[in-house]
Structure 1
Amino acid sequence: MSEDLSTPLHGEHVAAGATLTSFAGWQMPLRYAGDLAEHHAVRTAAGLFDLSHMAQIEVNGPEAGAALDRSLVSIPSQLADGRARYTVIVAEDGGIIDDLIVYRFAADEYLVIANAANRHTVLDALTFRSGGLQCSVVDRTPHRALIAIQGPRAAEILAPHLDVDLDALRYYASVNGTVDGVPTLVARTGYTGEDGFELAVPANGAVGIWRLLLGAGESAGLVPAGLAARDTLRLEAGMPLYGNELTRDTTPDEVGLGRVVKLDHEFVGRDALVARAQSPSSRHLIGLVGSGRRAARAGSAVIDGDGTQIGAITSGVLSPTLGHPIAIALVGAPAEVGARLEADVRGTRQPMTVVELPFYRRPA
């Protein structure tokens, strides 16, 4: 067994007294002061996350766009410079290898952010699929850091320390600037359901930026936040997680991501997805809400009115923002909004109601 990797901010987490956990081969902060406090800070003020475990893969060269078009279900070459897109990479059989964000900086310059657990798998797939094309695929993860500042006061905290206009930065857009003299790619993206930014920086500049933002945001209510809060935030926002909602055994359409698939271009896995699209899917992702305080967890059975198991919970929690149980489930038959189902919560059947996702939307 190899030892877990450490991000450039590992020492900051230790000094802050964070509870550390092994996650996807990295030592990561699970929590600092507490899950609920961190969750509520992001919803009401701001939270600072270390995301340096996420893979940062550059694809550059005259045919970089063609390589990504061939590799992904979307068409990155059609993005405007400075824009980003949430997308998926699938296998030949249409199963999801990973969900990721691709950034286009120029016609010959792209960045792919992939999940930590799939870093090498995505790197290998992109390298293989770009074979014969004039481009390079390079893993920059060991030399970079990724810091996210998320919440309604994120822009207010970040703006004074950045030499670009955040008001002009659209959602899913990026711009190059500097924070405290450190070259920084600033993207208006996130995984919390709140406004916020993700900052890609050189590894040796991460500590300075982390300390700067913690200090600058303290009076505004910003706190460091760990993986536990990140998970409850993304679940409230109805965002899927690889390994839970998204797996090698699911296709984009089955998990509500059919919108990101563009079948009018050639890509690896297209034929399989076209064939599957010609027949109704046997699996569907749904949102569920319950009453009381007992949350269904991943793996809990979902049961219909006849007492038949029709699927399983993929993610579930007692929502800190809403105050009642919420869950996402993968079921074998369509379930209409308002339908009454049950979830097996540690041997007890918990009534659940089907709702539209997301569970939470930030105030306009």
Structure 2
Amino acid sequence: MKNTALTDKHVALGAKMVPFAGFNMPVQYAGINTEHETVRNNVGVFDVSHMGEFIIKGEKALSLIQKVSANDASKLFDGKIQYSYLPNDNGGIIDDLLVYRIDEKTYMLVVNASNIEKDWTWIQQYNTEGVEMINISDRTSLLAVQGPLAAKALASLTDIELANMEYYTFKKGVFAGIPNVLISATGYTGAGGFEIYFDTIHSETIWNAIFEAGRPYDIQPIGLGARDTLRLEMGFCLYGNDIDENTCPIEAGLGWVTKFTKDFVNADGLRARKEQGVTRKLIGFEMIERGIPRHGYEIVDGDDQIIGVVTSGTQSPSLQKAVGMGYVSKVFSKEGSEIYIKIRDKKIKAKVVKTPFYKG
């Protein structure tokens, strides 16, 4: 089990630690609901240093990224970020990721912790033109400072104009006295905020500086439990739950980042899939009757026939109702459709709704 550079901090703060993607990670401190509300209404800090980071650089860096990813990275400019995914050969998804353009010949890919080695091997096999690839995951720490007060809480630590940073852009600069820190206007919560990348040797300095600067805003540490409820309220996919190597990205609603204007891995197969139409779709739903949906629960119709499966589900702290995501037969995917979730062999009524569940 790997630790992040801040594991001792989490333990000292009384965090409940759990294994996640091969790392010893804090799942909660004060409690999931409390932490969830802190991020929605105020500001909180997640240690997400388990995530993977690859530097891709050289004359052919862009062409390699274009080949292995579905979105069109040629649209990026310096300081711009793009959501994308790595398609596999048989219609599924190796991983979803973020692509950062640092300059014309240098990019950073941010990948899921559980897929670091798999993604690296996959990209490497397409690296036939000598593109330099550097796996900086072990020496890079990442803190997500999320919530409506994030810019105010961090403002005193940097000259970068955080309040005016556009969503999905980033800047590099001095942060908490440390040079070459990358600050990104991204996150996995829908609450606004920043993700901060820096050399692991500065982890404690930066963690302490953030909590000192954020003290007037009642900044709090947040665990993976609230990270999951926050992302689910926004309808954001979680790799391993809502998408995986057997998931068709068109079924998963990822057509918007699948750009057939260029050639990429399995582009022809995905194009054919899109043209022939899918038989199932990823939907959001809310429970009408009492019950909490969980990953793997069956979704059935009024006649108790299986029509799909729940991929994510929770009791939404912000909405005070149970919500979930799952794949259903296309005929049941329309907004307002009545479906049932099998919970302990009982049919519990739900209805299909548009995501995000939380509109803020």
TM-score (norm 1): 0.96
Distance 1:12 1:62 in 2: 42
Contact 2:288 2:351 in 1 (8 A): no
Q: How does 1:225-244 map to 2 (within 5 A)?
A: 225-244=222-241
Instruction: Find the counterpart in structure 1 of residue 354 from structure 2.
Output: 356
Contact 1:292 1:325 in 2 (8 A): no
Distance 1:221 1:311 in 2: 43
- 2:183 corresponds, among 158, 183, 186, to 186
Contact 1:126 1:137 in 2 (8 A): no
- 1:109 corresponds, among 106, 111, 116, to 106
Amino acid in structure 1 at the alignment position of 2:11: V
Distance 1:281 1:110 in 2: 33
Distance 2:37 2:164 in 1: 27
Instruction: Find the counterpart in structure 1 of residue 281 from structure 2.
Output: 284
- 2:154 corresponds, among 137, 153, 158, to 158
Distance 1:355 1:75 in 2: 30
| Pairing 1:208–2:240 present | no
Q: How does 1:45-194 map to 2 (within 5 A)?
A: 45-131=42-128, 133-182=129-178, 183-194=180-191
Aligned to 2:231, the other structure's residue is in SS state: helix
Distance 1:260 1:82 in 2: 19
Instruction: Find the counterpart in structure 2 of residue 341 from structure 1.
Output: 339
Aligned to 1:255, the other structure's residue is in SS state: coil
Amino acid in structure 1 at the alignment position of 2:101: R
Report the alpha carbon displacement of residue 76 of structure 1 after superposing the two structures with TM. Answer: 1.4
Report the alpha carbon displacement of residue 307 of structure 1 after superposing the two structures with TM. Answer: 2.1
Distance 1:55 1:280 in 2: 34
Distance 1:188 1:43 in 2: 16
User: Residues 67-109 of structure 1: CA distance to partner in whole angstroms, max 9, x if unpaired?
Assistant: 1001100121331111000100011122101000000011101
Contact 2:250 2:273 in 1 (8 A): no
Instruction: Find the counterpart in structure 2 of residue 39 from structure 1.
Output: 36
Q: How does 1:259-274 map to 2 (within 5 A)?
A: 259-274=256-271
Distance 1:61 1:293 in 2: 56
Aligned to 1:204, the other structure's residue is in SS state: helix
Contact 1:99 1:114 in 2 (8 A): yes
Amino acid in structure 2 at the alignment position of 1:130: N
Report the alpha carbon displacement of residue 44 of structure 1 after superposing the two structures with TM. Answer: 0.6
Contact 1:293 1:318 in 2 (8 A): no
Distance 1:206 1:361 in 2: 34
- Structure 1 pair 214/338, CA: closer, same or farther in 2 (3 Å)? same
Aligned to 1:70, the other structure's residue is in SS state: helix
Contact 2:91 2:269 in 1 (8 A): yes
Contact 1:193 1:361 in 2 (8 A): no
Report the alpha carbon displacement of residue 292 of structure 1 after superposing the two structures with TM. Answer: 5.3
Cα RMSD (Å) of the superposition? 1.1
Distance 2:216 2:163 in 1: 22
For structure 1, the 5+ residue unaligned runs are: none
Report the alpha carbon displacement of residue 291 of structure 1 after superposing the two structures with TM. Answer: 3.5
Q: Could you tell me the percent identity over the aligned residues?
A: 36
User: Residues 227-268 of structure 1: CA distance to partner in whole angstroms, max 9, x if unpaired?
Assistant: 000000000010000011101111211111110000111111
Distance 2:213 2:347 in 1: 47
Amino acid in structure 2 at the alignment position of 1:303: V
Report the alpha carbon displacement of residue 179 of structure 1 after superposing the two structures with TM. Answer: 1.2
Distance 2:290 2:114 in 1: 32
For structure 2, the 5+ residue unaligned runs are: none
